[in-house]
Amino acid sequence: MSPIENVSRRRFLTGGIIAAGAVVLGVHYYPKLSSGHRLPHDTNADHATLHPDVYLGIDPDGTVWIVASRSEMGTTSRTTLPLVVADELDADWKRVKIEQALGDSRYGDQNTDGSHSIRSFYDAMREAGATARFMLIQAAAHQWGVPATECETDLHVVVHRSTDRRAGYGELATAAAKLPVPKREELKLKPKSAWRYVGKGQVSYDLEALVSGKAIYGMDARMDGMVYASVEHPPVLGGKVKSYDDKEALKVGGVRQTVPMEPFQQAPGFQPLGGIAVIADNTWAAFQGRKKLNVSWNNGPNETYNSDAYKNELRETSHKPCKVVRNIGDADAVFAKDGKVYEADYYVPLLAHASMEPMVALAEFKDGKATVWAPTQNPQAVQDIVAKELGIAKEDVICHVTLLGGGFGRKSKPDYVAEAAVLSKKMGRPVKVVWTREDDIKFDYYNAVASMYMKAALGTDGKATAWLQRSVFPPIPSIFDVNAVYGDPAHLQQGWTDIPYDLPNLRIENGPAKAHVRIGWLRSVANIYHAFAIQCFTDELAHAAGRDPVDYLLELIGNPRTIDFRGVEYPNYGASMEAYPWETGRLRRVTQMVAEKSGWGKRKHGKGTGVGIAAHRSFLTYVATVVEVEVNDQGEVRIPRVDTVLDAGLVVNPEATRAQFEGAAVFGTSVVRTGEITATKGVINQSNFHDFPVARIGEAPYETKIYIVDSDAPPAGVGEPGVPPFVAAFCNAIFSATGKRVRDLPIAKLGFS
Partner 1 sequence: MIQVKVNGVEQSFDGDPGMPLLWYLRDVLGLTGSKFGCGVGLCGACTVHVNGQATRSCVTAMRDAAGKEVTTIEGLENNGLHPVQKAWKQINVPQCGYCQVGQIMQAVALLNSKKRPTDHEIDEAMSGNICRCGTYQRVRAAIKAAAGEMT
- Three-state secondary-structure class, residue 11: helix
Rounded to the nearest whole angstrom, what is the least distance from the CB of residue 701 to partner 1 in the complex? 7
Rounded to the nearest whole angstrom, what is the least distance from the CB of residue 436 to partner 1 in the complex? 6
Contacts of 120 (CB under 8 A, 6+ apart): 108, 109
Q: Which stretch binds partner 1 (CB under 8 A): 339-347, 387-395, 429-437, 467-475?
A: 429-437
Count of residues interacting with partner 1 (CB under 8 A): 70
Cross-strand pairs, 707: 645
Q: Which of 258, 250, 259, 256 is nearest to 226 (CA)?
A: 256
Give residues 204-233 in contact with partner 1 (rule: CB under 8 A).
204, 206-208, 210-217, 219-220, 222, 228
Return the number of other C-beta atoms located less than 10 Å from residue 526's C-beta: 28
Residue 217 phi/psi, 5-degree rounding, is -100, 175
User: Strands 464-472, 506-511: parallel, antiparallel or unpaired by DSSP?
Assistant: parallel
Task: From residue 655, give the alpha-carbon distance in Å to each of 51, 197, 651, 700.
Answer: 30, 12, 10, 20
Task: From residue 315, give the alpha-carbon distance in Å to each of 57, 451, 510.
Answer: 57, 6, 12
Cross-strand pairs, 66: 56, 98
Buried b / exposed e along 299-334 (16+ C-beta atoms within 10 A): beebbebbbeebbeebeebbeeebeebbebeebeeb
Give residues 281-340 in contact with partner 1 (rule: CB under 8 A).
282-285, 287-288
Give residues 499-528 in contact with partner 1 (rule: CB under 8 A).
none
Q: Which is nearer to partner 1, 26 or 339 (CB)?
A: 26
CA angle 47, 117, 80 (to 5 degrees): 65
Rounded to the nearest whole angstrom, what is the least distance from the CB of residue 405 to partner 1 in the complex? 3
List 7, 203, 458, 554, residue binding partner 1 (CB under 8 A): 203
Rounded to the nearest whole angstrom, what is the least distance from the CB of residue 291 to partner 1 in the complex? 12
Contact between 406 and partner 1 per CB under 8 A: yes
Rounded to the nearest whole angstrom, what is the least distance from the CB of residue 282 to partner 1 in the complex? 4
Q: Which is nearer to partner 1, 421 or 700 (CB)?
A: 700
Give residues 248-287 in contact with partner 1 (rule: CB under 8 A).
253-254, 282-285, 287
CA angle 414, 420, 424 (to 5 degrees): 145
| Largest Cα span, the chain | 85
Rounded to the nearest whole angstrom, what is the least distance from the CB of residue 504 to partner 1 in the complex? 40
Return the number of other C-beta atoms located less than 10 Å from residue 703's C-beta: 12
Give residues 627-646 in contact with partner 1 (rule: CB under 8 A).
none
Q: Which is nearer to partner 1, 216 or 241 (CB)?
A: 216
List 73, 151, 422, 545, residue binding partner 1 (CB under 8 A): 73
Q: Which is nearer to partner 1, 303 or 628 (CB)?
A: 628
CA atoms lying within 13 Å on the CB side of residue 604: 2
Taking residues 20 to 59 in sequence order and writing x for each that binds partner 1 by CB under 8 A, - otherwise, the string is -----xx---------------------------------
Q: Which is nearer to partner 1, 350 or 659 (CB)?
A: 659
Q: Which is nearer to partner 1, 349 or 701 (CB)?
A: 701
Contact between 153 and partner 1 per CB under 8 A: no
Contact between 664 and partner 1 per CB under 8 A: yes
Residue 371 Rama label (left phi>0; alpha psi -120 to 50; beta): beta
Residue 25 CB burial class (10 angstroms; 0-12, 13-18, ≥19) = exposed
Could you report how far apart the first and last alpha carbons of the chain are, in Å? 66
Size (the chain), residues: 753
Rounded to the nearest whole angstrom, what is the least distance from the CB of residue 112 to partner 1 in the complex? 12
Residue pair 665/642 in contact by the 8 Å Cβ criterion: yes
List 295, 374, 659, 716, residue binding partner 1 (CB under 8 A): 659
Q: Which stretch binds partner 1 (CB under 8 A): 189-197, 400-408, 645-653, 674-682?
A: 400-408
Q: Which is nearer to partner 1, 64 or 441 (CB)?
A: 441
DSSP-derived secondary structure for 195-209 = -SSTTT----TTHHH
Residue pair 78/653 in contact by the 8 Å Cβ criterion: no
Compute, in degrees rounded to 10, the torsion defined by CA atoms 368, 373, 374, 380: 50
Rounded to the nearest whole angstrom, what is the least distance from the CB of residue 687 to partner 1 in the complex? 10
Q: Which is nearer to partner 1, 602 or 690 (CB)?
A: 690
List 373, 408, 552, 752, residue binding partner 1 (CB under 8 A): 408
Rounded to the nearest whole angstrom, what is the least distance from the CB of residue 218 to partner 1 in the complex? 10
| Distance from C-alpha of 463 to C-alpha of 505, rounded to nearest angstrom | 12
Rounded to the nearest whole angstrom, what is the least distance from the CB of residue 288 to partner 1 in the complex? 8
Rounded to the nearest whole angstrom, what is the least distance from the CB of residue 203 to partner 1 in the complex? 5
| Distance from C-alpha of 168 to C-alpha of 149, rounded to nearest angstrom | 18
Q: Which stretch binds partner 1 (CB under 8 A): 53-61, 144-152, 257-265, 661-669?
A: 661-669
Q: Using the 8-state DSSP alphabet, how is residue 519 labeled?
A: B
Contacts of 487 (CB under 8 A, 6+ apart): 325, 471, 473, 475, 496, 510, 526
| Distance from C-alpha of 357 to C-alpha of 664, rounded to nearest angstrom | 18
Taking residues 354 to 373 in sequence order and writing x for each that binds partner 1 by CB under 8 A, - otherwise, the string is xxxxx---------------
Residue 262 phi/psi, 5-degree rounding, is -65, 140
Cross-strand pairs, 297: 241
Q: Which stretch binds partner 1 (CB under 8 A): 8-16, 405-413, 458-466, 731-739?
A: 405-413
Contact between 405 and partner 1 per CB under 8 A: yes
Q: Which stretch binds partner 1 (CB under 8 A): 203-211, 305-313, 323-331, 480-488?
A: 203-211
Contact between 665 and partner 1 per CB under 8 A: yes
β-sheet with 227-232: strand ranges across: 255-261, 275-280, 227-232, 431-434, 360-366, 369-374, 397-401
List 379, 487, 520, 663, residue binding partner 1 (CB under 8 A): 663
Taking residues 687 to 706 in sequence order and writing x for each that binds partner 1 by CB under 8 A, - otherwise, the string is -xxx---xxxxx-xxxxx--
Rounded to the nearest whole angstrom, what is the least distance from the CB of residue 668 to partner 1 in the complex? 9
List 76, 117, 138, 307, residue binding partner 1 (CB under 8 A): 76
Q: Which is nearer to partner 1, 355 or 451 (CB)?
A: 355
Contact between 437 and partner 1 per CB under 8 A: yes
Task: Report how far Cα 668 is from the mean position of its chain's Cα atoms.
Answer: 15
Contact between 376 and partner 1 per CB under 8 A: no
Rounded to the nearest whole angstrom, what is the least distance from the CB of residue 215 to partner 1 in the complex? 6
List 655, 708, 740, 741, residue binding partner 1 (CB under 8 A): 655
Q: Which is nearer to partner 1, 436 or 609 (CB)?
A: 436
Which residues form the interface with partner 1 (CB under 8 A)? 25-26, 72-76, 203-204, 206-208, 210-217, 219-220, 222, 228, 253-254, 282-285, 287-288, 354-358, 403-408, 434, 436-438, 655, 659-660, 662-667, 669, 688-690, 694-698, 700-704
